[in-house]
């Protein structure tokens, strides 16, 4: 079986797969695993890694197993044992679809649920469920040193509704609704979110957010409005590119819609979008409902978001974080035509798997799946991405950063 990636090695990561290449890859997979029995045999083989299969009841290794069967029959006690029971592949009905999805992702292929359901000839809901569970596995493999960023910084990629989106609202209203709920919980000391607060600080404090008294909050807002969020310098001394300063100056003392910013700056919409992302990440501007923008210093209600964005910069590797975030947004918009906020973290996990080929070579995703237990459908349905999402740097990026330090 060919385990090489179909993409050429490059610093920019794997390229977007074309329809002809996708068809060729599917033909290659179908040649290696022509039937569901071949796929189930491969899953069982990988699960046991060529080790002897023993009866779970009496421990005897004298068992009978047919090709492509997921059960074994012990010759000693007659007990039937399901090889996939209690594993990630517990109760799967379409082994060929599951193995194909893993096979493609291990080779850096980016494919949406819609594309996959047509390619594999399965229901869209089944394809969606497969990729959500695989991305959950990848998310659980994220290292502890992953970059943590406010989910609001990925709002440019959010354009699809979910069951968490408020009725008759734009998909981005989900983010605003979640932030309001968090603010309400932070302001109510008797709420469940503050249970045990004396023992464990809330997540907001870990990000540098302080739910202090009104006097403290007012003092913090005054200090923030007079200084640059990144380095504590006056706004007049902040180093910006000419294009960033042009957009930043247009927001002096007023909020402005994105379309108006494009018109008045004379810059292409794509460039203005990138500039606003950088300014928002640095904590200089804040996005308001309706695609309006305002300077952070002019919006007293946005101090918590500004501090959270500032914490991302203090984590280090600022230039790499910017590049990683912009690349992720571009990936989400190009490959999925936008996403819902509910599953933002899952999509970022899929992006990491696609880009970090050193961490996710052929065989690695299968091993990660086998380290996990069953993932229930209810876990996927009830999942909501946190306000601060994680995204690891690629291994080659980390090496380059340490080498230049």
Query: 332-352, pLDDT tens digit by residue?
Result: 998 888 999 999 999 999 999
Q: What is the pLDDT of residue 4?
A: 54
How does residue 329 score in pLDDT terms, banded at 50, 70 and 90? very high
Q: Tell me the HSE value of 120 on the side-chain side, using a 13 A CA sphere.
A: 30
Question: What pLDDT digit, counting tens, does each position of 103-136 carry?
Answer: 999 999 988 999 999 999 999 999 999 999 999 9
How does residue 223 score in pLDDT terms, banded at 50, 70 and 90? very low
Name the nearest CA neighbour of 343 among 136, 81, 92, 181: 136
182-215 in b/e form (b: 16+ CB < 10 A) is: beebbeeeeeebeeeeeeeebebeebebebeeee
The pLDDT of 41-54, averaged and rounded, is 78
Q: What is the pLDDT of residue 186?
A: 61
Q: What is the pLDDT of residue 62?
A: 82
Alpha helices in 121-267 (DSSP H): 124-140, 173-187, 203-206, 214-226, 242-250, 258-265
Q: How far apart are CA 247 and CA 264, in angstroms?
A: 9
Check: CB of residue 158 under 8 Å from CB of residue 287.
no
Sheet holding 256-257, edge to edge: 256-257, 292-295, 285-288
pLDDT at 43 over 60: yes
Question: What pLDDT digit, counting tens, does each position of 375-388 carry?
Answer: 999 999 999 999 99
**46 compared with 116, residue with greater pLDDT:** 116
The pLDDT of 180-184, averaged and rounded, is 77
Which neighbouring-strand residues pair with 63? Answer: 74
Q: How far apart are CA 278 and CA 27, in angstroms?
A: 42
For the chain, what is the largest distance between any 2 Cα atoms, rounded to a whole number of angstroms? 82
**How long is the chain?**
405
Sheet holding 71-74, edge to edge: 63-64, 71-74, 80-82
The pLDDT of 87-111, averaged and rounded, is 93
Q: How far apart are CA 164 and CA 172, in angstroms?
A: 11
Q: How far is CA 24 from CA 29, 238, 288, 303, 311, in A?
A: 9, 51, 45, 51, 45
Name the nearest CA neighbour of 320 among 386, 243, 391: 391
pLDDT at 312 over 60: no
Question: What pLDDT digit, counting tens, does each position of 241-288 carry?
Answer: 888 999 998 988 777 888 888 888 889 988 898 899 888 888 888 887
Residues 6+ apart with CB under 8 A from 72: 53, 55, 63, 64, 65, 80, 81, 83
pLDDT at 47 over 60: yes
Q: How far apart are CA 139 and CA 150, in angstroms?
A: 17
- In whole numbers, what is the pLDDT of the chain averaged over residues? 78
Q: Percent of the chain at pLDDT above 70?
A: 73
Q: What is the pLDDT of residue 169?
A: 85
3-state secondary structure the chain: CCCCCCCCCCCCCCCCCCHHHHHHHHHHHHHHCCCHHHHHHHHHHHHHCCCCCCCCCCCCCCEECCCCCCEEEECCCCCEEECCCCCCCCCCCCHHHHHHHHHHHCCCCCCCHHHHHHHHCCCHHHHHHHHHHHHHHHHHCCCCCCEEEEHHHHHHHECCCCCCCCCCCCCCHHHHHHHHHHHHHHHCCCCHHHCCCCCCCCHHHHCCCCCCCHHHHHHHHHHHHHCCCCCCCCHHHCCCCHHHHHHHHHCCCCCEEHHHHHHHHCCCHHHHHHHHHHHHHCCCEEEECCCEEEEHHHCHHHHHHHHHHHHHHHCCCHHHHHHHHHHHHHHHHHHHCCECHHHHHHHHHHHHHHHCCCCCCCCHHHHHHHHCCCCCHHHHHHCCCCCEEEECCCHHHHHHHHHHC
């Amino acid at each position: 079986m060919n385990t090489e990636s179909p993409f050429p090695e490059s610093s920019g990561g794997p390229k977007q797969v074309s329809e002809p290449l996708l068809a060729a890859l599917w033909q290659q997979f179908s040649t290696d695993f022509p039937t569901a029995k071949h796929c189930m045999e491969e899953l069982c083989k990988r699960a046991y890694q060529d080790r002897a299969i023993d009866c779970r009841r009496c421990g005897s290794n004298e068992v009978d197993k047919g090709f492509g069967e997921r059960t074994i029959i012990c010759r000693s006690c007659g007990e039937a044992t399901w090889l996939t029971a209690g594993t990630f592949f517990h109760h799967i009905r379409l082994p060929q679809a599951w193995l194909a999805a893993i096979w493609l992702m291990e080779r850096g292929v980016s494919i949406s649920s819609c594309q996959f359901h047509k390619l594999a000839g399965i229901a869209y809901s089944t394809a969606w469920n497969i990729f959500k569970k695989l991305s959950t596995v990848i998310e659980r493999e994220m290292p502890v040193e992953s970059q943590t960023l406010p989910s609001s910084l990925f709002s440019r990629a959010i354009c699809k509704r979910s069951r968490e989106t408020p009725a008759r609202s734009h998909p981005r209203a989900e983010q605003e609704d979640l932030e309001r709920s968090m603010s309400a919980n932070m302001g109510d000391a008797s709420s469940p979110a503050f249970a045990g607060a004396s023992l464990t600080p809330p997540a907001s404090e870990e990000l540098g957010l302080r739910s202090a008294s009104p006097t403290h909050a007012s003092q913090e807002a005054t200090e923030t409005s007079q200084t640059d969020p990144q380095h504590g310098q006056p706004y007049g001394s902040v180093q910006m590119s000419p294009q960033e300063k042009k957009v930043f100056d247009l927001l002096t003392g007023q909020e402005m819609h994105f379309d108006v910013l494009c018109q008045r700056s004379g810059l292409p919409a794509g460039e203005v979008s990138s500039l606003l992302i950088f300014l928002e990440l640095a904590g200089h501007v804040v996005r308001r409902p309706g695609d309006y923008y305002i300077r952070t210093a002019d919006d007293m209600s946005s101090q918590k978001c500004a501090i959270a964005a500032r914490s991302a910069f203090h984590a280090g590797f600022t230039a790499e974080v910017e590049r990683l975030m912009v690349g992720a947004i571009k990936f989400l918009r190009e490959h999925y035509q936008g996403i819902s906020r509910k599953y933002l973290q899952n999509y970022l996990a899929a992006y990491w798997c696609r880009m970090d080929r050193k961490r996710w070579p052929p065989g690695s995703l299968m091993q990660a799946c086998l380290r996990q237990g069953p993932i229930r459908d209810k876990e996927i349905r009830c999942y909501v991405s946190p306000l601060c999402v994680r995204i690891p740097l690629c291994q080659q990026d980390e090496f380059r950063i340490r080498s230049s330090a």
